[in-house]
Amino acid sequence: MRILVAGGAGYIGAHMVKCLAENGHTVTVFDNLSSGHPEAVRWGRLVVGDVLDRPALDAVLQADRYDAVMHFCARSLVGESMSQPLVYYRNNVLGTLTLLEAMQTAGVDRLVFSSSAAVFGQPLSERIDEDHPLAPINPYGASKWMCERMIEDAVKAFGLHAVALRYFNAAGAAPQGRIGESHQPETHLIPNVLRAVLEQGSAAPLQIFGDDYPTRDGTCVRDYVHVDDLAAAHLAALQLLQQEPGMHRFNLGNGAGFSVREVIAAAGRVCGRRVPHQVAPRRDGDPATLVAASDHAREVLGWKPRYTDIEAILETAWRWHRAPVY
């Protein structure tokens, strides 16, 4: 198939491009490089452009015949979305709207969309399945919820077929391939933990954002899922769209939660070094716990994460962060 990967120069998108190419697909990446890296696009063609730019999208979508679009573009930082909500609604919601319009015009009728656990807000159950109410508590999550809603309406109205994949916390890096997580500034826990290990003595210790949450050790609990496992779920989603038209949603996680302190301890074992850390105030917009129930993805997509052990996930991240290429 010929696939347009919007946001394919970013962390998860680059792993997707690698996975698509390895499975025989032809890829064009469309990315404005706001948080992505041209060096990460090693298995496809890169078109630099913005999903808010309709003429640029039309040009790329009409120049070739695409079988599907995968849409990874977003601003995706919870804390930043609390202070800059309109930036989030513009980029994420308007960007997705513009992409949907351009797909309709070009007659591309299959979409895999990067959604997020942030659509659920405060969990009402220990593990979150697809029937959990959608009640985002930050503008980032609200923007993803609005995108899902627009996609669902487009599916009903004009024959789009779509899968929304709600990732929990993407983590790790491809064991081979010289790609990994690299954001500036970096806000995600695992890269920050590993940086605290690498830069101890010369940089600030890791900040633990809050240790007074209602969790087993007071720090936030998240479900870390390997980025290659996420890519595998997208591949399965593409296949599903060929067999089952309509709108599908899947929650993607390992089904096991780790607290910030547990991640720090696991990283200490993997790196064989102490992780310098200190407790800081809570970060705005963070729910205490987010853990996935991914039975639906297992049953319908046949998805089975290969990395179920937090230390195995951290190993792959550690290999990247010790010698990042970009």
Amino acid letter for position 27:
V
Q: Which is nearer to ligand NAD, 136 or 201 (CB)?
A: 136
Rg of the chain's alpha carbons, rounded to an integer? Answer: 19
Site string for ligand UDP, 76-95 (x = CB under 6 A): --x-----------------
Residues 128-147 that bind ligand UDP (CB under 6 A): none
* Binding partner of residue 307 among ligand NAD, ligand UDP, none, CB cut-off 5 to 8 Å per kind: none
* Binding partner of residue 33 among ligand UDP, ligand NAD, none, CB cut-off 5 to 8 Å per kind: ligand NAD
Binding-site member from 3, 11, 25, 254 for ligand NAD (CB under 6 A): 11
* Binding partner of residue 143 among ligand UDP, ligand NAD, none, CB cut-off 5 to 8 Å per kind: none
Q: Which is nearer to ligand UDP, 132 or 161 (CB)?
A: 132
104 is an interface residue for ligand UDP by CB under 6 A: no
Binding-site member from 12, 189, 225, 264 for ligand UDP (CB under 6 A): 189
Can you name the residues that pair with 104 across neighbouring β-strands?
none
At 79, is the secondary structure helix, strand, or coil? Answer: helix
| Residues with catalytic roles | 140
Contact 144, 115 (CB under 8 A): yes
241 is an interface residue for ligand UDP by CB under 6 A: no
51 is an interface residue for ligand NAD by CB under 6 A: yes
10 is an interface residue for ligand NAD by CB under 6 A: yes
CA dihedral 32, 35, 37, 38 (to 10 degrees): 0
Single out the segment in contact with ligand UDP by CB under 6 A; choices: 40-48, 103-111, 207-215, 314-322: 207-215
Q: Quick one: which of 176, 196, 170, 189 has its CA closest to 325?
A: 176
283 is an interface residue for ligand UDP by CB under 6 A: yes
CA dihedral 102, 105, 107, 112 (to 10 degrees): 20
Q: Which is nearer to ligand UDP, 97 or 220 (CB)?
A: 220
Contact 282, 209 (CB under 8 A): yes
| Rounded-to-integer distance, Cα 165 and Cα 168, Å | 9
At 265, is the secondary structure helix, strand, or coil? Answer: helix
Residues 77-116 that bind ligand NAD (CB under 6 A): 91, 95, 114, 116
| Rounded-to-integer distance, Cα 243 and Cα 186, Å | 39
